[in-house]
């Protein structure tokens, strides 16, 4: 399988570094300047400083070059995925597209696999998701991810092709469960960061993680996901990482909300748009997702953290 990574952000660069340990990999950066700088310095100073690009990794800003390979890993933010597919549809047609983003599209409520199907119905698609910080992957530290593909044979082939020395892949055919888990955990991570930032304590975070997981299940199972998928790397596993580490941008946004300080709006924080998308979807589906609703209220400045906590603590008492 010949491989390109489309998107030279932190995650795309980290994946390309790890995959280049197995053979040639092409990494596409949309900016000519960034590709030139990366080729000159053998580093992605803008998005993933401190990690050397191996010789088997080539960087290009020519999509025609990157699209010569058959399997393309799409490592752009969720809200940019459709633009990427529409901008380069001709080049991407007929390819195997592995989405590496975690989120729900705000304008449609769709996850990455559904957006690919919407834009390029004939593409063969899969999703790579799970607990893994870009800097850990790039540093060669051990990670385990889920490779979800509805086509079981293609999933097996991708699992073999994308497994590396420090990136162990488990496969699944449950693309709905994998995409919902990866998207929804970011919303819960914002909530967890907020309670820690506000000094509300570790017990409150554990409660939010547990009840947040119940919300993740409620939404994902209603959409047809398998419960085991939510309990796996793409759901529980990624929630555990993202809700407890300052390495996570979603968690750090939450910390800022809890502390009442500004957060750099240029940082990719998938959970912000996803919270709004999920809240809208929950309303349409008549699902109760109170933590997600509070995160939306915090993000929009409609709720204070105290008001959000009071709203959650005074809900009608119920069975677990």
Ligand X SMILES: NC(=O)C1=CN([C@@H]2O[C@H](COP(=O)(O)OP(=O)(O)OC[C@H]3O[C@@H](n4cnc5c(N)ncnc54)[C@H](OP(=O)(O)O)[C@@H]3O)[C@@H](O)[C@H]2O)C=CC1
Ligand Y SMILES: O=C(CO)COP(=O)(O)O
Nearer residue to ligand X within complex by CB, 142 or 260: 142
Taking only Cα atoms into account, the Rg of the chain, rounded to an integer number of angstroms, comes to 19
Q: How far apart are CA 254 and CA 297, in angstroms?
A: 13
Q: Distance of alpha carbon 46 from its chain centroid, rounded?
A: 20
Among 63, 100, 176, 190, binds ligand X (CB under 6 A): 100
CB 88 within 8 A of CB 64: no
Tally of CB atoms within 10 A around 90? 9
Nearest to 115 by CA among 147, 83, 88, 155: 83
102 annotated to a ligand binding site:
yes
- What is the 8-class DSSP label of residue 6? E
Q: Which residues form the interface with ligand Y (CB under 6 A)?
A: 102, 131-133, 186, 189, 238, 241-242, 248-250, 270
The answer to whether 287 and 219 have CB atoms below 8 angstroms apart is yes
**260 labeled binding residue:** no
Report the residue number, 103 or 193, with the smaller CB distance to ligand X: 103
Q: Does 78 bind ligand X (CB under 6 A)?
A: yes
250 binds, among ligand X, ligand Y, none (CB under 5 to 8 A by kind): ligand Y
Return the SS3 of 50. strand
Q: How far is CA 163 from CA 133, 169, 229, 263, in A?
A: 16, 6, 19, 35
Should residue 120 be labelled a site residue for ligand X when binding is judged by CB under 6 A? no
Whether 156 sits among the annotated catalytic residues: the reply is no
- What is d(CA 223, CA 226) in angstroms, rounded to the nearest whole number? 9
Nearest to ligand X of 107, 306 (CB atom): 107
In the region spanning residues 38 to 77, those forming contacts with ligand X, defined by CB under 6 A, are 47, 75-77
Closest distance of CB 201 from ligand X, Å:
27
Q: Between residue 140 and residue 199, which ones bind ligand X under the rule CB under 6 A? A: none
Binding residues for NAD(+): 7-12, 134, 249
Q: Which residues are annotated as a binding site for NADPH?
A: 11, 30, 102, 134, 249, 270
- Note the residues at the interface with ligand X (CB under 6 A): 7-12, 30-31, 47, 75-78, 80, 83-84, 100-103, 132-134, 268, 270
Please give the positions annotated as active site.
Answer: 185
């Amino acid at each position: 399988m010949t491989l390109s990574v489309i998107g030279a952000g932190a995650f795309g660069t980290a994946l390309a570094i790890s995959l280049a340990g197995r053979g040639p990999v092409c990494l596409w950066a949309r900016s000519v300047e960034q590709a030139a700088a990366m080729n000159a310095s053998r580093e992605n100073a803008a998005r993933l400083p401190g990690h050397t690009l191996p010789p088997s990794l080539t960087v290009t800003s020519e999509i025609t070059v990157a699209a010569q390979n058959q399997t393309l890993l799409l490592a752009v933010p969720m809200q940019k995925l459709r633009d990427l597919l529409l901008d380069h549809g001709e080049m991407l047609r007929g390819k195997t597209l592995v989405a590496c983003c975690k989120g729900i599209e705000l304008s449609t409520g769709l996850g990455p696999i559904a957006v690919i199907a919407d834009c390029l119905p004939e593409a063969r698609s899969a999703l790579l998701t799970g607990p893994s910080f870009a800097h850990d992957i790039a540093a060669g530290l051990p990670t385990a991810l889920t490779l979800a593909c509805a086509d079981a044979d293609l999933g097996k082939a991708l699992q073999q092709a994308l497994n590396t020395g420090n990136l162990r892949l488990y496969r699944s055919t449950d693309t709905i469960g994998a995409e919902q888990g990866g998207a929804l955990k970011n919303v819960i991570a914002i909530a967890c960061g907020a309670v820690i930032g506000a000094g509300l304590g570790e017990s409150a975070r554990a409660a939010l993680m547990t009840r947040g997981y119940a919300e993740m299940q409620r939404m994902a199972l209603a959409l047809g996901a398998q419960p085991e998928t939510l309990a796996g790397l793409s759901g529980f596993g990624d929630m555990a990482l993202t809700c407890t580490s300052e390495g996570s941008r979603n968690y750090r946004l939450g910390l800022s909300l809890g502390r009442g300080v500004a957060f750099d709006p240029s940082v990719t924080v998938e959970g912000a748009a996803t919270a709004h998308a999920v809240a809208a979807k929950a309303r349409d589906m008549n699902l109760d997702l109170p933590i997600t609703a509070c995160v939306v209220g915090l993000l929009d400045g409609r709720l204070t953290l105290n008001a959000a906590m009071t709203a959650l603590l005074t809900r009608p008492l119920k069975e677990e």
